[in-house]
Structure 1
C-alpha cells in the first residue's frame, strides 16, 4: 500500500469506519477528495491499529467488533438530562446481574436502582466464551453530574461513569433578551510600566476594570493563558502550549504575591535586581522577549517561594494541591524534569511517566515540584483576582478565556496523558483559500477510543481548571470536538484524513462544566462546516463566531448584518488576520507574498482583496455609515457600527483595532519567518500603547463613542 494515490479496498474502509476515519472530504473549492489507502493505513497506525496487510486488517476488524462484548460495562455513558438511555451489560451467558447508580455528591449523592429492560439479544462467542447481553434502563430524572453505574453478579463486578449533561446551556439572564460587548486582546502584547516585559495578570485586572468602568464593556477576551515551557526557549504561540490545563507562570505579577511584601531587605533587593532587565523591555518597540521576562520572573519567584507563608496561606496552597490532585503533581514533575534536561535530549526512560527513573525523580526533585505547583497556585489566585476585578468594575460576563485546539508534541500533557494522545500523527487543516498548502499545527490529537476509555476525565479536568475563573470560554476550532484533520507523521498537510469524535459526549461535557461554572461558551466555527454542526451547537446553547470579512451570502457578497445569527460572537477581525487598519491596506496579501505563502500570482490575490474591500465599502455607503471618501479611522468605526446592526448577542472589539494597530499578531503557515505572537501593542504610527495610556487613547475613545451611539436603542423617529 505504498502508492499514495491508491484507493482503499472495502475491508480497509470498513476498518477505518470502525475507528471513525472518514474516507473522503469536501474541499473548500467544493471538490470531493478521496483519502488514499496509504493515508488510512498511517492514520490507523497512529491509533495503534495494524492495517499493514489484508490479514492484519481482518484481525483488527474482528477485534474492534468483539471489544464491546469483552467489557462488562461500557467505559462511559454520556447522555442528556431527561433523555432515555439503555446500557448493555455483558456477562457469562445465563448468569444473573444487577445494577445500580451511585449519584454524584455534587448533585446530592445517594443510590438509585436501575431496572433491567425486556430486550433479547443473541449471545456471542468471544475468546472461546459464550457472552450474553443484559440491557438496563437508566432513569430519566437523573440530576446533572458525574454518576457511577455499578454491575454485580457471578461473572460481573464492574463500574463506569454516567455523565448527565444539560440539554442546553442557557445564557445568563442579562443575555437572554439583551446583548453584551467587550474588548479582545492578546494579553502578552499589552504592557504597563510595571510589567516585566510582557502583559501579565495584574495588567489583565487593570484592563478589565478600566474597560468596564470607563467604556461600559461587558467582557474581556484574552488569548489562551496555557502553560509554556519552564525553560527557554519558550514557544511564543499561546496556541501551542505544553499543557492546556495549567497556566503559564510568565503571566504572574511578582509584586502581587502576598509574601513579596514581607521579604527581608536583602531578598527584596534580589527581586528588584531580577526585575531590572525585564522592566526595561516595557518600552522596547521590538519583538516581545519572553525568555528574558521569564528568566527574570523565575529568579524573583524562587526568592518569594522560599519566604515563609502564614498558616492560612499554607492551608490555601494545600487545598489547591488537593483540588488539582495528581494532574498538578505530574505537571510539576514534568517542569522539574524539563529543567534537569534543559538543552539536551531526554533519556528514553524520562519520557515514560511510568518508568523507574521518573519514580526516582519524583523524590529527588521534590523541592522543584513544590516550586512549580506553588507557581500554579499563585497564578490561579491572580486569575481569580482579575476575574473579580472585571465583575467589580461592572462587567456582566468578566474574563473570557480561550481554549487552544491542542498541545505541544513534547509538552507536559503529552508526557502525562500519553495513553489518550496519539503519537504518530498531528492535527491541522487541509488546503483552503487562506492557506493553500494546508496547515500542520504539530499537535497530537486525542485518541477517541482511549479518551472514552478514560471516561473523558482528562478532558473534564482540563475544562474545570480553565473555567474556574471565567465568565465565558471561547473554544478555538470547535469543529475539533466533532472531527479533526489527522496528518500522519512525515506527511504533507494535504495527505491527511478527518477522524470523527463523539461530539455528543464532548459537547455535552463542555456544557455540563460550563453550566457548573456559570460560564458562556463560544465555539470558533470558521472553516469548512457541515450545516448540521452549527444547528447542533445552537441546539446545545453553544454560541458561534461571525467574522465580518468571512460572512458572505450565496452570491459571495457581504452578508447583510440583519441575517447574522443571534447566538454568536460577532467581530470585525480575528487574531489570525491583520488588525482592520492593516487588512484595509492589504497587509494580509503583502505579508503572504513576502513570505512566499501564495500559490497564485500576487496581483490576482491583491485584486481579489481589493474587490472584497470595495464590496464592503459599498455596503457601508448604502447604510450611511461612511461618506464618499472616508478616512481609515472612519472605515474602521463604520465596520464596527455595522456589526452592531447584527442580532449577535455578543460583540467583540479588538484592542488592536481600537488603537489603530496595523501589524498582525500571527501569520498562519509560518514559524520563524515572521515574529508571530511577539508584536507589542502599538498605534497606527508605531507608537507603543501602554495600559496607563490605553483608555486615554483618542482613537480608542472615538471607537467606543461610535459603538455607544450604535448600541443605544433607536428612538421612534430614528427607526
Structure 2
C-alpha cells in the first residue's frame, strides 16, 4: 500500500486497463523505476516510507498546489476558494508593471470544507484527475480580482502556515475556432516535388501549393507533417516524428533561391553547379524510381547556405536578424550550439566528451567561443527558415484561405538531440514513451522518445512547453497535436524493460490544456488534436470543452456502442477534422481496391492468412460502398474506383465536421502509404514522392493540371462567384 500511495501522489499508475473490464497490475519494479526518474527513491521499504512521509507532509503544509488554473469567466478552482480566512495572495504578473504586485486578502467565511488539505481535489489512485474537476467550483468571491491572461506567479501567506507559491495560469475558456466550414489538403511536404525543388518538397513548394489551392480550388487550409529539426546522421532518421528539436524547423526545407542573399553570392557559378546537382536528385526521384534522399538534399543545401551566409546582410536585414536573436534568446543559442557541437562530436550528445554533455558547463562555454562562426551559421539558418515559414502562411492567407497552414507537433523528440541536451532537467532519464499492449498489439510499443517530467514542467512554470508552442504557432493558421492524449497521460517504458512492463504517468491535464489554450489564443490559432485509437474516458469531452477539434477518419467511424455499422454522416461530431485517411494509413484507392492487404502480405505483416484478411477487408469496404450508394453519393456504382473516391469525399462533406481534409495523394489515385507502421527497412517510410495510380511520381505542376484531381475537387469546390469577383474562403464572414 505504501508504494501504491506514493505512486498515486506522483501520478504514477499501479495498474491499467488494456480493454473493458480487464485490469492489469503494473510490476513493482516498473513503479520503482518510474518514481526514480521523477527523483523519488522507492528502492527499499524504508525509502518508500520516508518518501511517502515527505510527500504527505509537503502536501499538508502547502497552501497552494504547484499549479493553479483559472479559466477566464469561469468559477474559481477549489485551490483558491478553499484557502483559510486571512490568507493574503500576492500576484507576480507575467508582464511586471510599474505598480507593486496586486494583493488580495480572503475574509472570514470563504473556506470550502470539501477541499483537501493541499487545496486540490484528490486524484483517484493511479489514475488521471477528472478533466472537469474544476467545473463544480463556487462562483468567484467578491475578494477575487481576476489577473490578466498569462502565466503568473502567485504567493499565499496565512497566519501560522509557511508561505506557499505556485504557477497561476489564467487562460481564455476556448481556443480560436475556424470560421465556418472549410476543406483543404493533407500532405507530407517532402513528398511534393516541383520543377524547382532540390530533391524534395520545400517551403517554396508549400507556399505555391497554398496559393494555388486557395485561389483556384477554394481550399481553406493545407496540413503538413512536422517540420521539426532532424537529428544529423548518416543516414538521418527520415521520420518527421522523431526530431532533434520540436522548437525549431529544419533548414533542409528552405527554398535556396528565395533567400534574399542568393543574388549577391560571391561565387554564382558554384551555386549554379549545386542547382544542377540538385536537379539531378529531383530527376532521379521523378523519373528513375529513386527514393527521396534527405541527406543528399541537405548536403547540397548546406553548401549553398555556406555561400549565402557569407554574404553581408544589409542594414535592414541585419536589424531584423538581431531582433530574431533577441526574441528567441537562450533557446536558439542552445539549439545552434548543439548543431555546431554535433558537427564535431556526432549527433548523440551522450557520446560527447563528458564536460560538453552539460550545456551550462565552463567547457561548453569555451567550446561555444571556439565555434562562434558555426553557432552563428545555425542561428542564421533558423532565421531564414522562420522567414520562409512566415511567407508560406502569408501566401495562404493572401489566397483567401480561412485557416492557412496547419502545422504538426510531434509527440516527442530524439533522446540524443538538441532538446534533450539543452533541457536535461525537463526530461525523465532512462524512460521512453510508447503504448501499452492492447487488442491490436499484444506486445505494446516503445517509440524511443524520452518524456517530459510533469514535476519539472510545473516547477518551471511550463516554460519549455510554452516556448515550444509559441515557436510553432508563430506562423500557423492551425496546429495539429499528434497523440493529443499525451497532454493527459503517457505510457512510460523504463530502459531495459519491454513495453508490456510500462505504466501510465499523468500530467496536470488542466495546466497543459490551459497553457495550450492561452498560447493559441495569443496567436489566433485553431488547434486540432489527433485523438484516434484508445482514448481515456473524459479526454475527448475535456478537449471539446476547450474548443480543441478532434480527428475523425472515415473507416474508423462506426457505431461501436451499438451494431458496429458505419456511422451515418449526420451522427459524426461537428468539432473535428474529417478525413478519409492519414499518413499512417492506406490511401483511399488502396483501401477501396484491397491493395493495402496485398502490400502487408508481401512484407509479412499479416497475422492471419491472406484469404482471411481479404475477406474481412472486402466485407468492410462493401459495407461502406453500400452506405454510399444508399445515400445517393455513388451514382456511378461501386466498380469505378475513381468514382468511389469521389463518393467518399461527398460523404465527408455531408458530415457536420468543421474541416474536411483531402489526402493530396488521393487526388491522383496514389496506392502507396507514406508510412507503414510496423516496418523499418522493409518499406521506404517517409521517402516516397507523390505518385499516380500507376506509381509514377507526379510534380506539383502536374498535380495542378491533373483532370482526376479536378474531378475530385469539383466535389468540394465552393460555388463560384461571377467572373471578375474574388471567391470567398469557405465559411468566411462578410466584412
Matched, 1:540 2:530: no
Matching residue of 1:472: 478
User: Which consecutive unaligned segments of at least 5 residues does structure 1 have?
Assistant: 1-9, 125-135, 713-719
Query: Does structure 1 retain, via aligned residues, the 8 Å contact 2:340–2:375?
Result: yes
Matching residue of 2:137: none
1:384 maps to which of 381, 390, 393: 390
Q: Could you say if the C-alpha distance between residues 186 and 302 of structure 1 is closer, same or farther in structure 2, counting changes exceeding 3 Å?
A: same
Q: Could you say if the C-alpha distance between residues 106 and 39 of structure 1 is closer, same or farther in structure 2, counting changes exceeding 3 Å?
A: same
Query: Does structure 1 retain, via aligned residues, the 8 Å contact 2:37–2:430?
Result: yes
Matching residue of 2:340: 336
Q: Could you say if the C-alpha distance between residues 88 and 164 of structure 1 is closer, same or farther in structure 2, counting changes exceeding 3 Å?
A: closer
Matching residue of 1:318: 322
User: Which consecutive unaligned segments of at least 5 residues does structure 2 have?
Assistant: 119-140, 722-735
Instruction: Describe the superposition over 1:231-273 as per-residue Cα deviations: whole angstroms up to 9, x where unpaired.
Output: 5422211111111111011001111111112223xx2222222
Q: Could you say if the C-alpha distance between residues 496 and 559 of structure 1 is closer, same or farther in structure 2, counting changes exceeding 3 Å?
A: same
Q: Which moved more, 1:701-710 or 1:663-672?
A: 701-710
Matching residue of 1:716: none
Q: Could you say if the C-alpha distance between residues 69 and 433 of structure 1 is closer, same or farther in structure 2, counting changes exceeding 3 Å?
A: closer
Matching residue of 2:273: 273
Deviation for aligned residue 1:661: 0.7
Matching residue of 1:639: 648
Matching residue of 2:153: 148
Query: Does structure 1 retain, via aligned residues, the 8 Å contact 2:167–2:458?
Result: no
Measure the CA separation in 1 of the matches of 2:399 and 2:59: 53
Query: Does structure 2 retain, via aligned residues, the 8 Å contact 1:75–1:454?
Result: no
Deviation for aligned residue 1:651: 0.4
2:598 maps to which of 551, 571, 590: 590
Matching residue of 1:79: 70
SS at match of 1:559: coil
Measure the CA separation in 2 of the matches of 1:641 and 1:523: 23
2:370 maps to which of 359, 364, 369: 364
Deviation for aligned residue 1:526: 0.6
Matching residue of 1:253: 255
Query: Does structure 2 retain, via aligned residues, the 8 Å contact 1:436–1:599?
Result: no
Matching residue of 2:124: none
Q: Could you say if the C-alpha distance between residues 44 and 560 of structure 1 is closer, same or farther in structure 2, counting changes exceeding 3 Å?
A: same
Matched, 1:663 2:672: yes
Measure the CA separation in 2 of the matches of 1:596 and 1:520: 40
Matched, 1:612 2:602: no
Measure the CA separation in 1 of the matches of 2:416 and 2:563: 45
CA RMSD in angstroms, aligned pairs only: 3.0
Deviation for aligned residue 1:415: 0.7
Matching residue of 2:302: 298
Matched, 1:309 2:313: yes
Query: Does structure 1 retain, via aligned residues, the 8 Å contact 2:231–2:414?
Result: no
Deviation for aligned residue 1:374: 0.8
Matching residue of 1:61: 52
Measure the CA separation in 2 of the matches of 1:70 and 1:337: 45
Matched, 1:571 2:573: no
Structure 1 segment 393-472 matched on structure 2, within 5 A: 393-472=399-478
Instruction: Describe the superposition over 1:7-28 as per-residue Cα deviations: whole angstroms up to 9, x where unpaired.
Output: xxx2221122111122222225
1:214 maps to which of 213, 216, 229: 216
Matched, 1:105 2:95: yes
1:373 maps to which of 362, 365, 379: 379
Q: Could you say if the C-alpha distance between residues 510 and 343 of structure 1 is closer, same or farther in structure 2, counting changes exceeding 3 Å?
A: closer
Measure the CA separation in 2 of the matches of 1:564 and 1:75: 39
Measure the CA separation in 2 of the matches of 1:681 and 1:107: 53
Structure 1 segment 654-693 matched on structure 2, within 5 A: 654-693=663-702
Measure the CA separation in 1 of the matches of 2:638 and 2:155: 72
Q: Could you say if the C-alpha distance between residues 20 and 617 of structure 1 is closer, same or farther in structure 2, counting changes exceeding 3 Å?
A: same
Matched, 1:12 2:18: no
SS at match of 1:164: strand
Deviation for aligned residue 1:225: 0.6
Instruction: Describe the superposition over 1:15-74 as per-residue Cα deviations: whole angstroms up to 9, x where unpaired.
Output: 221111222222257633332223222322332322222222212212322344677865
1:708 maps to which of 713, 717, 726: 717
1:197 maps to which of 196, 199, 214: 199
Q: Could you say if the C-alpha distance between residues 605 and 439 of structure 1 is closer, same or farther in structure 2, counting changes exceeding 3 Å?
A: farther
Structure 1 segment 508-519 matched on structure 2, within 5 A: 508-519=514-525
TM-score (norm 1): 0.89
Instruction: Describe the superposition over 1:576-598 as per-residue Cα deviations: whole angstroms up to 9, x where unpaired.
Output: 11211112233443333343434
Q: Could you say if the C-alpha distance between residues 585 and 449 of structure 1 is closer, same or farther in structure 2, counting changes exceeding 3 Å?
A: same
Deviation for aligned residue 1:349: 2.7
Measure the CA separation in 2 of the matches of 1:363 and 1:332: 13
Measure the CA separation in 2 of the matches of 1:535 and 1:652: 22
Aligned length: 684
SS at match of 1:569: strand
Query: Does structure 2 retain, via aligned residues, the 8 Å contact 1:73–1:158?
Result: yes
Instruction: Describe the superposition over 1:384-404 as per-residue Cα deviations: whole angstroms up to 9, x where unpaired.
Output: 000000011110111011111
Measure the CA separation in 1 of the matches of 2:352 and 2:195: 39
Q: Which moved more, 1:586-595 or 1:630-639?
A: 586-595
Instruction: Describe the superposition over 1:259-299 as per-residue Cα deviations: whole angstroms up to 9, x where unpaired.
Output: 112223xx222222233332212232321100000011011
